[in-house]
Amino acid sequence: MLLEFNSAYAENLDQKDLLRDFRQQFHLPVLHGKTAAYFCGNSLGLQPKGAEASISKELRDWANLGVEGHVFAERPWVSYHEQFAPLLAKITGAKPNEVVAMNALTVNLHLLMVSFYRPTTSRFRIICEQKAFPSDIYALESQAKLHGLDPKMAIREIAPREGSVEIHHEDIIEAIREEGEQLAVVMIGGVNYYTGQVFDMQAITREAHAVGAIAGFDLAHAIGNIELHLHDWDVDFAAWCSYKYLNSGPGGVAGIYIHEKHSSNPNTFRLTGWWGHDKSSRFKMDPEFIPIPTAESWQMSNAPVISMAVQLASLELFEQAGMPALLDKARKLNSYADLLLREVQNLPGFEGMFSIITPASRGCQLSLLFHRDGRKMFDYLLENSIIADWREPNVIRIAPVSLYNSFTDVFRLAETISSFKH
Ligand SMILES: Cc1ncc(COP(=O)(O)O)c(C=O)c1O
């Protein structure tokens, strides 16, 4: 057995982990009377302990101030969302004027497609990845229909090669070049939800621009998980949800990025509402819409302060930890998990049981494709207080997250899998 396949080795890694105390800032679920090893941060992040106080603060201000809280709350509600921009900008590699926390992910994808998918008779194609998250496909198909187009004619899905689950980067690039002047938008998940594959967003954006198309990304599985430089990569638009790696609770407020070259351009079409109106004259209630020249002008309604208070508590932890340290730990956790799971694959009785289908281009997630006993293994993990994620028909996804997972959690996972009786 490998030297690393050892609880003392994992504990030693935890001792050396400079982020180890952040785990104390989260509520860790308890399953069957035992603190769970939680690997579902790619589905629903854990609750920051600061969330309750953050919500209570707003409830108290509302109780004490009523409508006056818009201006006189400790964190005035009229500008509440503005606190998020600098924090989200650091996580996404954007400028603060390029990001805004608002709405939900699929809603935002629609709003962005309304702005950036403006098909003409000659340029109308959309490229996306095959097996994208279904909501994205539904959104893209209905966007095509909105413009009177047949989705089958408008959308080109890039599939993995025969016998593989990985989508080859060269195949995306080749498709962009083939579509050429027909291509309107590339809209791909930055990290594929099923395999955990990370796409080269910079190269995809460069190629899309070379044929005059727009590049947008669904960052649901990317934000807070991988290194992002949206502005420097010249990405046109992106959207994400916040309940996964950003720990904002079920249905937590999502967010968008729009490159400043588009938001500052008054000719960029946007669906509008009063919260996107120039702030100095918003309350004059004039009929003419004057857009804020930033991503904020896509925010149509005033912010849902009470639910956003959760995200603020979480983003403060990101700020304290810093993205470089979080990314460094994520790489180490993932490598450790990969190493131990490959060791399990070689144990007697485990040969051919599962494959790791996550390509080398990855964040913290690992997807294990089971060739036998997948569901039984998932249930066995749960019985042993290990919470992973089951995807039909036979994939277990695990995501060791820097803010609250330990190397000991990873060891527990591998050891438990290795103790499975066939
Ligand atoms: C990649 C991806 N896109 C879209 C969605 C849908 O998100 P929402 O329900 O917040 O619109 C999800 C949800 O998990 C997702 O993972």
Q: What is the CATH number of domain 54-320?
A: 3.40.640.10
200-208: average pLDDT: 98
Q: Given this model, what pLDDT does residue 131 score?
A: 87
Q: Does position 241 have pLDDT exceeding 90, yes or no? A: yes
Q: Given this model, what pLDDT does residue 1 score?
A: 78
Say how far apart CA 330 and CA 246 lie, in whole Å. 14
Say how far apart CA 253 and CA 245 lie, in whole Å. 13
239 CB near ligand 1 (under 6 Å): no
Q: Given this model, what pLDDT does residue 78 score?
A: 97
- Mean per-residue pLDDT of the chain: 97
What share of the chain in percent tops pLDDT 90? 97
CA 94-95-97 angle, 5° bins: 125
203-211: average pLDDT: 98
Q: Given this model, what pLDDT does residue 353 score?
A: 97
Q: Closest residue (by CA) to atom 7 of ligand 1? A: 105
Say how far apart CA 36 and CA 42 lie, in whole Å. 16
Q: Does position 157 have pLDDT exceeding 90, yes or no? A: yes
Q: Is residue 233 very low, low, confident or very high in pLDDT (cuts 50, 70, 90)?
A: very high
Answer yes or no: are the C-beta atoms of 198 and 100 closer than 8 Å.
no
Ligand 1 center–CA 130 separation, angstroms? 15
193 CB near ligand 1 (under 6 Å): yes
Ligand 1 center–CA 69 separation, angstroms? 32
15-21: average pLDDT: 98
Q: Does position 422 have pLDDT exceeding 80, yes or no? A: no
Helix, strand and coil content of the chain, in percent to the nearest 5, comes to 45, 15, 40
DSSP 205-234: HHHHHHTT-EEEEE-TTTTTTS---TTTTT
* Range name among 37-46, 145-154, 280-289, 358-367 with the lowest pLDDT average: 280-289
Q: What ligand 1 atom has the least distance to the C-alpha of 244?
A: 14
Q: Give the start-to-end residue ranges of the domains of the chain.
A: 7-47+323-418, 54-320
255 CB near ligand 1 (under 6 Å): no
73-84: average pLDDT: 97
Architecture label for domain 7-47+323-418: Alpha-Beta Complex (3.90)
Q: What ligand 1 atom has the least distance to the C-alpha of 105?
A: 11
189 CB near ligand 1 (under 6 Å): yes
Q: Given this model, what pLDDT does residue 136 score?
A: 97
Q: Given this model, what pLDDT does residue 128 score?
A: 97
Q: Given this model, what pLDDT does residue 62 score?
A: 98
Q: Given this model, what pLDDT does residue 249 score?
A: 98
Ligand 1 center–CA 191 separation, angstroms? 12
Answer yes or no: are the C-beta atoms of 8 and 16 closer than 8 Å.
no
137 CB near ligand 1 (under 6 Å): no
